[in-house]
Structure 1
Amino acid sequence: MTSPAPGAQQPITRAEPLREAVYLRIVELISSGAYAPGAPLTEAGLSRTLQVSRTPVREALLRLQAEGVLTSTLARGFTVRTLAARDAAELYPVLATLEGLAVRSVTSLDETTLDTLRRTLDQLAHCTEPVQRWRLDTTWHTMLTAAAGNRHLQTMIGQLRTNLSRYELAYMREVWRRDTADRQHAEILAAITAGEREHAAALVERHWHDGMKLVMDWLAARQDDPGEKTGGAA
């Protein structure tokens, strides 16, 4: 049976359709680390935790399995996919390319969006709690790529970020690179504000490739440590 995670036992109150609300809540729980890599997830347990019927839970779990976030076996049911260097090495370059494409498509940012992006960067600069920092980082990148106005591109980027959130949060809990990431965010926003879309896209791509290297080095170090286990194939 799935054990309720801290903060998980809250009824669904989102404005989205129920199936989407359930999916987003499970994504949030996995991304925040409430259900760690390797943790089991069951329809019955999540149905009780989220106070919804099993049908939208089943749909959400199958969707997350198709997106590569969960694995499923007859013996164990659904589990959160373990961290694997090979997966990270495949996911990061795709995210870098797609987010770069989105930034190249941003012709301008209105003052409201610019102000929100700047305020989010300021919050990031003063945030030390990993989960909250990850949420702010996700919000910032989502606002930036949404400005491209391409819904399909936004969906693909969102799916990749959901998958990579397990790596990002696990890494952020153990290793600190706030100064580097914050500086890169500021450089990206400055380039977009100046109308330098190609330069901004290149900075975004470098940002994610740098992030990949840091995570890959961290995974390799954990793999070499007999006291740690990331799971999956390197």
Structure 2
Amino acid sequence: MSEQSKVAPARRRGLAEEVADRIREAIFTGAYAPGAQLREVELSGVMDVSRGPVREGLRFLEREGLVRVAWHRGALVTTLSADDVAELDSLRGALEDLAVHQVIAQASDEELDALAKTAAAMERVEDPHEMVRCDILFHDAVFAASGHRRLAEAWDGIRCQVHLFLLTRIGLSTEGYLKCIPREHQELVSALRSRDADTALTLFAEHRRHAIDVVTSA
């Protein structure tokens, strides 16, 4: 068998990935809220690309859970249902519980210092969308500090949907949000530094529940 017949020809997908990056960023900054329609014609005009890369970029985002494409409605920014929220929360909780155990068992002082620095940066944030971004970056750092590659990859598989969930949360209410989130993360860091698994697990669960309560009580 020739080398040529063993694998399919490579495709250049850089443009579609760039389109996906730009639309994702627009969603994360609040330019497109959950439920907003993403029209191929408008997006191709704004980004000065043909509709092909836009369509492919939207498919990337659909696989991430940020966009839903229906033949009769086109592409929409995902609106999370009650079942979506429950599933996402249960999976996130399972992943974070393992991450907490891993961090407490083996994270270095340098890795814990990085977590503390990420949490401290929240004190200077004045925009809710930027706070959501910082929140996600903190949890990225927790999974990185776990030293568990497959666990970090599992988190990466849902992080965009968690980001969308937190955007949904601030879309419903930002009362007290900018004040409480930095404090909550400082408490998470303190529990991890003390290597206190029970306290850390409780605090991480409470942190998740605060957001869930806002979304489910709306």
1:186 aligned onto 2:186:
yes
Amino acid at match of 2:204: V
Q: What value does the CA root-mean-square deviation take over the aligned residues?
A: 2.7
Separation of aligned partners in 1, 2:183 and 2:164? 23
- After TM superposition, the score normalised by the length of structure 1 is 0.71
- 5 Å-filtered alignment, 1:85-96, equals 85-96=82-93
Classify the secondary structure of the residue corresponding to 1:125: helix
Equivalent position of 2:145 in the other structure = 147
Query: How big is the shift at 1:73?
Result: 1.8
Could you tell me whether the CA contact under 8 Å between 1:168 and 1:215 is conserved in 2?
A: no
Aligned mates of 1:54, 1:105 — CA distance in 2? 45
Structure with bigger RCO (C-alpha 8 Å, 6+ apart): 1
Is the contact between residue 38 and residue 81 of structure 1 (CA under 8 Å) also seen in structure 2?
yes
Within-5 A mapping of 1:17-32: 20-32=17-29
> Structure 1's 74 and 105: CA in aligned 2 closer, same or farther, altered over 3 A?
same
Query: Which amino acid is the alignment partner of residue 68 of structure 1?
Result: G
Once the two structures are TM-superposed, the CA of residue 186 in structure 1 deviates from its matched residue by 1.6
**Residue 109 of structure 1 aligns with which residue?**
108
Alpha-carbon shift at residue 215 of structure 1 (Å): 2.0
Q: What is the TM-score of this pair, normalised by structure 2?
A: 0.76
List runs of 5+ in structure 2 lacking aligned partners: 1-13
* Native 8 Å contact 1:22 1:60 kept in 2: yes
Task: Find the aligned partners of 1:146 and 1:21 in 2 and give their Cα distance.
Answer: 25
Q: Does the CA-based 8 Å contact 1:61-1:78 persist in structure 2?
A: yes
Matched, 1:196 2:193: no
Amino acid in the other structure paired with 2:189: L
- Taking a change above 3 Å as real, the CA distance of residues 156 and 103 of structure 1, as seen in their structure-2 partners, is same
Structure 1 stretches lacking a partner, 5+ long: 1-16, 220-234
For 2:54 and 2:154, how far apart are their aligned partners in 1?
A: 22
Hey, what's the Cα distance between the residues in 1 that align with 2:44 and 2:153?
Answer: 26
Deviation of the 1:114 alpha carbon: 3.6
Secondary structure at 1:78 match in 2: strand
CA distance in structure 2 between the partners assigned to 1:57 and 1:90 by the alignment: 29
1:178-230 deviations in Å (ceiling 9; x for gaps): 4443333122211222223454234223321232122211x2xxxxxxxxxxx
Larger radius of gyration between Structure 1 and Structure 2: 2
Counterpart CA distance in 2 for 1:180 and 1:51 is: 41
Whether the aligned pair in 2 keeps the contact of 1:93 and 1:208 (CA below 8 Å) is: no
Q: 1:57 to 1:213 in 2, by over 3 A?
A: same
Which deviations, in whole Å up to 9, do the C-alpha atoms of 1:16-62 show, x marking residues without a partner?
x6555443333222122211222222444434434556555433322
